[in-house]
Chain A
Amino acid sequence: MVTSLGRRSIGLVTGFGQFGRFLGNVARALPDVRTWGGLTAQQMRRLGVDSLPIALFIAAFTGIVLALLASYVMTGAVPPYLVGTLVTKTITMELGPVLTGLALAGRVGANIAAELGTMRVTEQVDALETLAYNPYAFLVIPRVLAGLVMFPVVVAFAMGMGIFTGWLTATNLLPITNAEFMRGARLFFMPFDVWYGLLKSASFGFVITLIGCHLGLATRGGAEGVGRATTRTVVYSAEMILVLDAYWAVTLLRGHFQ
């Protein structure tokens, strides 16, 4: 029991050490713009195309549920237009970024880990190096930049979709008019909400792609190793999303409360 705990904490420490070295290698590859510059656009396109459908799908259903939930919780107690407030605030600040992030940890993170893991075990990464390329510049930076830039874009679309289906549900299934919903949505709206949601999304995109690249490149031992890298990427990314979510809430929301 104690030894297994000890072994696990040693594993954790060496894990962080390896991740630190990985980050160092990425930072050192940054000046090599000639290599990663051209590849980033391609990764951005791929990431966007890969993730938009699933993000929109999730957001659409979240919007419906949120509208119904809001009206159920607040029946009689508060004016109905607050359904509009609740739907927009929750989608932009929390559920849009977090649900999309979690889904994309599975879609994008796993994808990257599997791809780079396969490249590692089939010696494609070694081949890149012998062709005088830096794999961090060639493989990692384009993917991480794409995550950083494209996650907020994808989440912005998801926000739009969630609010739209929330509005559709409220005006069609609930005794709420278009004007009331709009009033609620505008009443407490602050541009900060959107920035907050998009900033969070960027941080999720950054972390998911970094973890996927790191565990992918660190893959050892054939197909089984690739499978392990993929699963661990999804688990660690999901954990990091929740941790970051709390971190941003503590650092950015607490000030507004006081």
Chain B
Amino acid sequence: MIEFRDLYKAFGANRVLEGFTLEVRDGETMVIIGYSGTGKSVAIKHVVGLLEPDAGQVAVDGQVVAELSRAALTGLRATIGFVFQFAALFDSMTIFDNVALGLRRRPGISEGDIASRVAEALALVDLAGTERLMPAELSGGMRKRVGLARAIALKPRYLLYDEPTTGLDPVTSAVIDQLIVRTREALGVTSVVITHDMRSAYTVGDRIAMLYRGRIRQVGTVAEIRATADPVVRQFIEGRPDGGRAAERASLSQTGQELGLEGVDA
């Protein structure tokens, strides 16, 4: 279980998370949606201790991440797969080494096992045979899928996907969605998926949470979100240029400027 408890995080004057609270239950896939720049990536980076909260906590299996010792944090990280929004492949290493790196960390796993796990993970993202290439030789979408393979190869207990399908063609997106669903069925993994793509959100999610202005605006099952009465959430899931958010913005624009929020969702 991953719990975000009343999380606050600011970068200088830019207050990103303000009372972010969310519970991800064991075995479920939680989708987080929200406008660009609202802090979705910032929120999940707290789960693996890449960022520390200004206030509040993130707990994984009851362990508060920011309070863990270095060794305990390393142990926790070994159980979590993280798919970065921009892949974050090691550009001085081959695709094989990129995917193998995390596995090499595991005690008692032979090079032969590593090679087969890497091949298996690459096949899952439809990139079999790219082992010897360098990241620079791949397209953006291919790199993204290598990032996915790198996380899945670890067979972790938790998987955090930061926009796994953004920038992929519709068919590849659907393949990745399927992969997320299948990974969950095969490994029983607990996942958080950040996405803008509502079709993908409905396919992979058990529940959907919308992050808005630093906190969760609404969280519910796919059916509940699809039937939402909240105008802000409605506008987002329907992708309309005007709606609840525009109306709210007009009334809040004064406050928004004082809070330095203008331009955040430009």
Contacts and interface: CB of A to CB of B under 8 A. Distances in A.
| Chains A and B are bound partners | yes
A130 B70 contact: no
Interface residues of B, number: 24
Interface stretch (A55-63, A73-81, A131-139): A131-139
A129 interface: yes
B80 interface: yes
A28 B71 CA distance: 11
A118 B88 CA distance: 11
Nearest to B93: A124
Interface string A98-141: 00000000000000000100110011101111111110000000
B82 A127 contact: yes
A167 to B, nearest CB: 41
Contacts, number: 51
Interface string B60-99: 0000000000100011011011101010111110000000
A133 B105 contact: yes
B48 interface: yes
A66 B89 CA distance: 49
A213 to B, nearest CB: 15
A127 B77 contact: no
B102 interface: yes
B109 to A, nearest CB: 13
B86 A123 contact: yes
B86 A131 contact: no
Contacts of A134: 70, 74
A133 B53 CA distance: 22
A129 B88 contact: no
Contacts of B150: 127, 131
Given A131-B102, A132-B77, A126 B84 contact: yes
Contact of B77 (A28, A115, A118, A131): A131
Interface of A: 28, 115, 118-119, 122-124, 126-134
Interface of B: 45, 48-50, 70, 74-75, 77-78, 80-82, 84, 86, 88-92, 101-102, 105, 150, 154
